[in-house]
């Protein structure tokens, strides 16, 4: 069962099953759902897992959580990993030097790690919606990777419609095309004049709009969310951390019980939370090292105990998926460590005063599991170049992890670095790094340039994007979003009256 991070308001149910938590992801007082109790992964589990496939291990872990989803549905959901580059190894663990291994999490359909969770999650959500005969509208705002992965998983799925807002000019060409070439009729993609913050605030305005909500209600459509605050995504993000350990065992780099480090390039902290739960469940992670870019709010929290957005503005970097100031999933760690009363207090302080501070003892508790450091774009570019020369191509988000590898790894243990995107999604930055120039390239030019310089292949799903017709060419002002969505859903404003 699942409970709420900020306690219960007396109206919502106090304990809910998994299906409820994923269909209705917002909990009392603006909190999130967390498992009431975490199951245990012991050495017997790990030993047995070392003879199993990724899919089997996923099903075993889901089973430990005893969630209220039928086994055949879970089976079909994890079968979606068959569509990854290598069905037997959806997340290959690649040794790159000495004690450093890359957990490549981007081998799914949209070439970013969001697929790891969204592929099976989309199947389960649509199944639940069909079961209760309810139509859902999923609203998403994306800075680039969540959008394509959300659209891909829900394309042609019954009972689900998706509207996805992206900042026009604020994504890479590849990311934009992954969205605007979507053919499926249940998807609507809208460019917004403005940046990601504008897209996100437009979405929040919409969620709060009474005319919007009334129109949906009157048509029998419910709203839900597929962002990483949905526990239905987090549960699948535990698995690949466990699998990395199994891969180290299989490659005979460790023996059962040995600890290892993991480094996570973090934004909304979903990936890091998956590692935290894996560690709490018993996976021998020595420490979770959090990598940030210069939007280093997580580094501040984990090194000083202070989460302070008062004097910050969001800075643009070459790792845009980590450009974030309010990192939602931190709340789940706070609740696990300090309980619901304290979490509510901290989150209210963040909302009202834009700052909270942990006590010295609380910080020490947090640092038992985490350490953190940030990396600037110059360091990331140099890292990309150095590794490319040595034969390994990593994207700008993955590159931020090398700073943590160099500065935070206190013990000589194997170190698993989570690689969150394929280089093909950020080709202009990659070519700038490799050529050490500052020219402006289109994605197409840069993909070709890197292909020729480094002789790496561009997957067909990326190469073909440039030849596909653009289906969604709307770019709208904030004020026109609601009407455009009404159009898409065949609602007239009359419905709202």
Distances (CA, A) of 240 to 34, 71, 105, 125: 19, 20, 8, 21
397 vs 409, beta carbon nearer ligand PLP: 397
159 vs 419, beta carbon nearer ligand PLP: 419
Task: Give Cβ neighbours of residue 494 (< 8 Å, ≥ 6 apart).
Answer: none
105 vs 125, beta carbon nearer ligand PLP: 105
Cβ at position 321, least distance to ligand PLP in Å: 3
46 vs 330, beta carbon nearer ligand PLP: 330
321 vs 476, beta carbon nearer ligand PLP: 321
Kindly tell me the burial class for residue 24, based on how many C-beta atoms sit within 10 Å of its own C-beta (0-12, 13-18, 19 or more): middle
Task: Give Cβ neighbours of residue 184 (< 8 Å, ≥ 6 apart).
Answer: 151, 155, 156
Cβ at position 178, least distance to ligand PLP in Å: 12
7 vs 148, beta carbon nearer ligand PLP: 148
Instruction: Give strand ranges (E) for 65-174.
Output: 93-97, 100-104, 135-141, 160-167
Give the separation between CA 89 and CA 68, rounded to whole angstroms.
27
Partner residues linked to 13 by β-bridges: none
Cβ at position 37, least distance to ligand PLP in Å: 23
**3-state secondary structure string, 407-421?**
HHCCCCCCEEEEECE
Distances (CA, A) of 406 to 248, 311, 372, 374, 377: 21, 29, 12, 12, 16
Give the separation between CA 171 and CA 453, rounded to whole angstroms.
24
Are the beta carbons of 22 and 124 closer than 8 angstroms?
yes
Cβ at position 324, least distance to ligand PLP in Å: 7
Cβ at position 421, least distance to ligand PLP in Å: 3
Q: Is 60 helix (H, G, I), strand (E, B) or coil?
A: helix
191 vs 267, beta carbon nearer ligand PLP: 267
112 vs 139, beta carbon nearer ligand PLP: 112
Cβ at position 147, least distance to ligand PLP in Å: 10
Kindly tell me the burial class for residue 167, based on how many C-beta atoms sit within 10 Å of its own C-beta (0-12, 13-18, 19 or more): buried
211 vs 461, beta carbon nearer ligand PLP: 461
CA 291 to chain centre: 15
Give the separation between CA 387 and CA 412, rounded to whole angstroms.
21
Instruction: Give strand ranges (E) for 73-185.
Output: 93-97, 100-104, 135-141, 160-167
Strands 221-224 and 306-308: unpaired
Cβ at position 232, least distance to ligand PLP in Å: 14
Cβ at position 260, least distance to ligand PLP in Å: 20
Binding site for ligand PLP (CB under 6 A): 112, 114, 145, 228, 265-272, 321-322, 397, 420-421
41 vs 321, beta carbon nearer ligand PLP: 321
Token pair of 491 as six digits:
């609602």
Cβ at position 235, least distance to ligand PLP in Å: 14
Cβ at position 122, least distance to ligand PLP in Å: 16
């Amino acid at each position: 069962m699942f409970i709420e991070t900020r306690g219960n308001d007396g109206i919502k149910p106090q304990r809910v099953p998994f299906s409820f938590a994923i269909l209705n992801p917002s909990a009392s007082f603006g909190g999130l759902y967390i498992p009431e109790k975490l199951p245990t992964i012991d050495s017997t589990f790990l030993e047995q897992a070392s003879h199993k496939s990724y899919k089997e291990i996923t099903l075993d872990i889901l089973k430990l959580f005893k969630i209220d989803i039928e086994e055949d549905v879970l089976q079909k959901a994890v079968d979606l990993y068959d569509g990854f580059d290598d069905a037997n190894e959806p997340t290959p663990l690649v040794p790159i030097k000495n004690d450093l291994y890359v957990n490549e999490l981007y081998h799914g359909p949209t070439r970013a790690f969001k697929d790891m969770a969204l592929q099976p999650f989309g199947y389960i959500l649509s199944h639940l919606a069909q079961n209760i005969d309810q139509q859902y509208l999923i609203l998403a705002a994306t800075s680039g990777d969540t959008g394509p992965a959300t659209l891909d998983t829900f394309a042609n799925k019954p009972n689900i419609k998706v509207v996805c807002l992206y900042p026009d000019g604020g994504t890479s060409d590849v990311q934009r095309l992954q969205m605007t070439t979507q053919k499926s009729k249940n998807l609507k993609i809208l460019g917004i004049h403005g940046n990601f913050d504008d897209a996100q605030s437009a979405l929040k305005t919409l969620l709060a709009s009474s005319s919007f909500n009334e129109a949906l209600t009157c048509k029998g459509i419910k709203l839900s969310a597929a962002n990483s605050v949905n526990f239905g995504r987090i549960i699948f993000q535990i698995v690949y951390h466990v699998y990395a350990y199994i891969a180290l065992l299989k490659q005979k780099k460790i023996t059962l019980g040995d600890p290892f480090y993991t480094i996570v390039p973090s934004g909304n902290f979903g990936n890091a939370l998956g590692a935290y739960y894996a560690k709490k469940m018993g996976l021998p992670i020595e420490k979770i090292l959090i990598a940030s870019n210069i939007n280093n709010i997580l580094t501040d929290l984990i090194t000083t105990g202070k989460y302070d957005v008062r004097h910050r503005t969001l800075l643009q970097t070459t790792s845009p998926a980590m450009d974030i100031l309010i990192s939602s999933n931190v709340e789940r760690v706070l609740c696990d460590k300090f309980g619901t009363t304290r979490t509510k207090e901290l989150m209210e302080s963040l909302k009202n005063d834009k700052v909270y501070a942990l006590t010295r003892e609380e910080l020490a508790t947090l640092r038992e599991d985490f350490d953190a450091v940030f990396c600037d774009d110059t360091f990331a570019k140099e890292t990309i170049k150095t590794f490319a020369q040595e034969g390994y191509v990593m994207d700008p988000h993955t590159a931020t992890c090398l700073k943590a590898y160099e500065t935070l790894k206190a013990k000589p243990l194997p170190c698993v670095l989570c690689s969150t995107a394929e280089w093909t999604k950020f080709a202009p930055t990659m070519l700038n790094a490799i050529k050490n120039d500052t020219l402006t390239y289109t994605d197409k030019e840069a993909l070709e340039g890197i292909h020729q310089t480094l002789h790496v292949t561009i997957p067909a799903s990326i190469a073909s994007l440039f030849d596909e017709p653009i289906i969604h060419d709307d770019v709208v002002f904030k004020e026109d979003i609601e009407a455009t969505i009404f159009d898409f859903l065949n609602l007239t404003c009359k419905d709202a009256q």
